Structure 1
Amino acid sequence: MITATQYLETEDRLQYNFFPNRSGLCQFRVRAPNDAHIALSPSAAETTPMYEIFIGGWGNSKSVIRKNRSKPDVAEVPTPGILNEHEFRGFWVRWENGTISAGNEGEGSPFISFTDYERVPIEYVGFCTGWGARGSWVIEQREGGGPIPAAYTQGPPSHAANVCWVASSNGQVPPRPFVGGEDNGEVMYVCRSNLNGALLPGKLLQSHGNGYVAWGGKENPVYEYEVLCDFGGTWVATSGGNIPSGSLTAGQSEAGEPLYIGRVVHDGALTVGKVQPSHGCLYIPYGGKELSFKDYEILVQ
Structure 2
Amino acid sequence: MVDYTDLTVSNKEENKFYKIGNCALKFSVKSKGGVAIGLASCPADDTIHWIVIGNRFSWIVQTNKIKTPGILSEHEYRPFWVSWYNNQIRLGVGGSSTPIAETTKFKDIKYLTFSTFKRNIVKFKLQLPLDLPDPVYKEIDTGKLKWVKMTNGVLPEGALIGGFENEILYIMRVMHESALTPGKYVPSEKAGFVAWGYRSHRKTEDIEILCGYDGIWKLLRPTIKKMSLPGAVQGGYKLVQSVSGINQEPLFVCRALDTTGVIPGSLKTLTKFCDYASEEKSQWSSTYEILTVLNPEE
User: How does the TM-score come out when normalised to structure 1?
Assistant: 0.52
Gaps of 5+ in 2: 133-159, 168-185, 192-203, 211-254, 292-298
Residues 179 and 126 from structure 1, CA distance in 2 versus in 1: closer, same or farther, beyond 3 angstroms?
same
In the aligned structure 2, how far is the partner of 1:102 from the partner of 1:162?
A: 32
Q: Counterpart of 1:159? A: 205
Q: In the alignment, which of 57, 66, 80 is matched to residue 62 of structure 1?
A: 57
Q: Counterpart of 2:112? A: 125
Question: 1:127: how far off?
Answer: 1.2
Question: 1:3: how far off?
Answer: 3.0
SS where residue 42 of structure 2 aligns? coil
Higher mean C-alpha displacement, 155-164 vs 9-18: 155-164
* Aligned-partner residue type, residue 24 of structure 1: C
* Aligned-partner residue type, residue 140 of structure 1: Q
Q: Counterpart of 2:104? A: 115
SS where residue 65 of structure 2 aligns? strand
Q: For the Cα contact (< 8 Å) 2:56–2:69, is it kept in 1? A: yes
Question: 1:16: how far off?
Answer: 2.8
SS where residue 178 of structure 1 aligns? strand
Instruction: Give CA-to-partner distance per residue, 1:151-188, whole Å, 9 cap, x none.
Output: 22533763367989x99743x7626x121657x84423
Residues 29 and 41 from structure 1, CA distance in 2 versus in 1: closer, same or farther, beyond 3 angstroms?
same
Higher mean C-alpha displacement, 150-159 vs 13-22: 150-159
Question: 1:129: how far off?
Answer: 1.7
> How many aligned positions are there?
187
1:189 aligns with 2:188: no
In the aligned structure 2, how far is the partner of 1:120 from the partner of 1:27?
A: 21
In the aligned structure 1, how far is the partner of 2:208 from the partner of 2:78?
A: 24
Gaps of 5+ in 1: 67-72, 194-199, 208-229, 231-301
- 1:168-183 pair list within 5 angstroms: 169-170=258-259, 174=262, 177-179=264-266, 181=268
In the aligned structure 2, how far is the partner of 1:79 from the partner of 1:168?
A: 27
Q: Counterpart of 1:84? A: 73
Q: Counterpart of 1:205? A: 285
Residues 173 and 14 from structure 1, CA distance in 2 versus in 1: closer, same or farther, beyond 3 angstroms?
same
In the aligned structure 2, how far is the partner of 1:22 from the partner of 1:132?
A: 31
| RMSD of equivalent CA atoms | 3.6
Q: Counterpart of 2:24? A: 25
In the aligned structure 2, how far is the partner of 1:201 from the partner of 1:98?
A: 26
In the aligned structure 1, how far is the partner of 2:208 from the partner of 2:32?
A: 34
User: How does the TM-score come out when normalised to structure 2?
Assistant: 0.53
In the aligned structure 2, how far is the partner of 1:5 from the partner of 1:41?
A: 22
In the aligned structure 1, how far is the partner of 2:67 from the partner of 2:258?
A: 22
In the aligned structure 1, how far is the partner of 2:256 from the partner of 2:274?
A: 17
Q: Counterpart of 1:281? A: none
SS where residue 174 of structure 1 aligns? strand
Q: Counterpart of 1:37? A: 36
In the aligned structure 1, how far is the partner of 2:13 from the partner of 2:76?
A: 21
Q: For the Cα contact (< 8 Å) 1:10–1:134, is it kept in 2? A: yes
In the aligned structure 2, how far is the partner of 1:28 from the partner of 1:75?
A: 23
1:139 aligns with 2:126: yes
* Identity fraction in percent: 21
